[in-house]
């Protein structure tokens, strides 16, 4: 059996490789402290679960959802954007419900790329940006994210020739994996750059509500942003709903129309009961989200302090639930990840798996209990490099 040439261009999905390695070690009886995949270990808030339970019992919710999302859920998203960002959205034309933001990010290139078109992808990055580009016949053009530039892409470094061939620009702030946050000034530059070169901006804001000292901005708060791009939102990280698979894209009606046409031919919409639960998530009590942030902040401080005392070089993140740490001199990302796993049972994600510029880093996810984080720090102290 012969796979397509397009499929052959896709790398093995990073987190599937990590999960396989983890399973192999667990079978050997090794106790693993897993800082790998960014999947919240905390439960979905009870009010959302209760809303889902009631919605599942309704026979009308058992049919094909179809369309771009229920009016109630899209209105809830619009209200949330008004309250959180002071951004006005037309629920009917400027919001599209997704089967999780990952699905929308992966499918959107199909609506805008012709074979050979360039897509600007800052890296290290969430692997889906690259995969979606390849599947649509596009060519990824990587923009290195460097510590000296606060892990923001240098848009001025993009040649005129490249800019004219590019159709899409992916952005992701707060950023996975670096945990960096974008300023208003940067977003303004991105809007100007994209407008001048007729490029569609795709801003992945999945971590906008996992913050500590200061609330991150929405790309759509920038004047002119809604005319040239869209923003992807998700309930996954904010409400611990990764397995529920529900998110949205909002912004440019023209861009969303293209994505909606792709989705209309590929899927049949988001389960109606989950959309009802989504309404409760956005409109209901928000105390749980504050507690979620407090939990991650406590974990962040414990792990950051432990790594710092152990001689690791890293910054304390102001958003996301990741720590992005330089590996000790003389080691590659994969080599250091292997040493941690084999010598101490600590699983961290090699930065090189997120792109060439991720070499020399490890990503630690804060999605494990604080007592296990403390234990990991003790294990790290015993490793002699």
Q: Cβ neighbours of residue 58 under 8 Å, at least 6 residues apart? A: 273
Q: Which pLDDT tens digit goes with each residue over 181-197?
A: 999 999 999 999 999 99
Q: Name the DSSP letter for residue 215.
A: P
Q: Which pLDDT tens digit goes with each residue over 225-278?
A: 999 999 999 999 999 999 999 999 999 999 999 999 999 999 999 999 999 999
CB–CB of 141/166 below 8 Å?
yes
The share of the chain scoring above pLDDT 90, in percent, equals 89
In the predicted model, what is the mean pLDDT of residues 301-317?
A: 96
pTM for the complete prediction? 0.95
What is the CATH number for 219?
3.40.640.10
Sign of the four-CA dihedral 181, 184, 190, 191: positive
Number of Cβ atoms within 10 Å of the Cβ of 14: 17
CB–CB of 72/276 below 8 Å?
yes
For residue 186 the two structure tokens come to: 């940067």
Q: Cβ neighbours of residue 29 under 8 Å, at least 6 residues apart? A: none
- Domain shared by 195 and 118, yes or no: yes
Domain of 340, in residue numbers:
5-43+287-381
Number of Cβ atoms within 10 Å of the Cβ of 259: 23
Q: Among the three residues 226, 259, 283, which one is the final residue of a domain in this structure?
A: 283
In this prediction, residue 9 has a pLDDT band, given cuts at 50, 70 and 90, of confident
What is the CATH number for 27?
3.90.1150.10
For residue 78 the two structure tokens come to: 């619009």
Q: Which pLDDT tens digit goes with each residue over 118-160?
A: 999 999 999 999 999 999 999 999 999 999 999 999 999 999 9
């Amino acid at each position: 059996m012969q796979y397509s040439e397009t499929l052959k261009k896709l790398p093995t999905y990073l987190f599937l490789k990590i999960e396989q390695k983890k399973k192999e070690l667990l079978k050997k009886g090794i106790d693993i402290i897993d800082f790998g995949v960014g999947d919240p270990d905390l439960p979905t808030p009870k009010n959302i679960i209760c809303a889902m339970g009631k919605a599942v019992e309704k026979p009308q919710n058992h049919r094909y959802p179809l369309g771009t999302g229920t009016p109630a859920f899209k209105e809830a998203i619009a209200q949330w954007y008004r309250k959180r960002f002071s951004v006005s959205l037309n629920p009917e034309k400027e919001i599209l419900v997704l089967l999780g933001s990952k699905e929308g990010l992966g499918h959107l290139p199909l609506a805008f790329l012709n074979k050979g078109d360039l897509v600007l992808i800052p890296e290290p990055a969430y692997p889906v940006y690259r995969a979606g580009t390849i599947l649509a016949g596009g060519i990824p053009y990587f923009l290195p994210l460097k510590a000296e530039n606060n892990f923001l892409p240098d848009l001025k470094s993009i040649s005129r020739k490249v800019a004219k061939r590019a159709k899409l620009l992916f952005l992701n702030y707060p950023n996975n994996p670096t945990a960096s946050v974008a300023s208003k000034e940067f977003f303004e530059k991105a809007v100007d750059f994209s407008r001048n070169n007729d490029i569609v901006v795709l801003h992945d804001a999945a971590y906008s509500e996992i913050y500590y000292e200061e609330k991150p901005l929405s790309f759509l708060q920038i004047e002119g942003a809604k005319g040239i791009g869209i923003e992807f939102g998700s309930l996954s990280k904010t409400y611990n709903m990764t397995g529920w698979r529900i998110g949205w894209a909002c912004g440019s009606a023209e861009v969303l129309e293209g994505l909606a046409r792709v989705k209309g031919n590929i899927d049949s919409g988001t389960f109606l009961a989950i959309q009802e639960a989504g309404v409760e998530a956005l409109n209901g009590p928000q105390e749980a989200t504050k507690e979620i942030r407090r939990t991650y902040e406590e974990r962040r401080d414990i792990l950051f302090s432990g790594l710092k005392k152990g001689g690791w070089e890293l910054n304390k993140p102001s958003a996301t639930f990741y720590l992005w740490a330089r590996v000790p001199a003389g080691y590659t990302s994969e080599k250091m990840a292997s040493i941690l796993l084999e010598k101490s049972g600590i699983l961290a994600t090699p930065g090189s798996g997120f792109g060439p510029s991720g070499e020399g880093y490890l990503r630690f996810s804060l999605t494990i209990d604080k007592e296990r984080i403390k234990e990991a720090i003790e294990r790290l102290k015993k490793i002699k490099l």
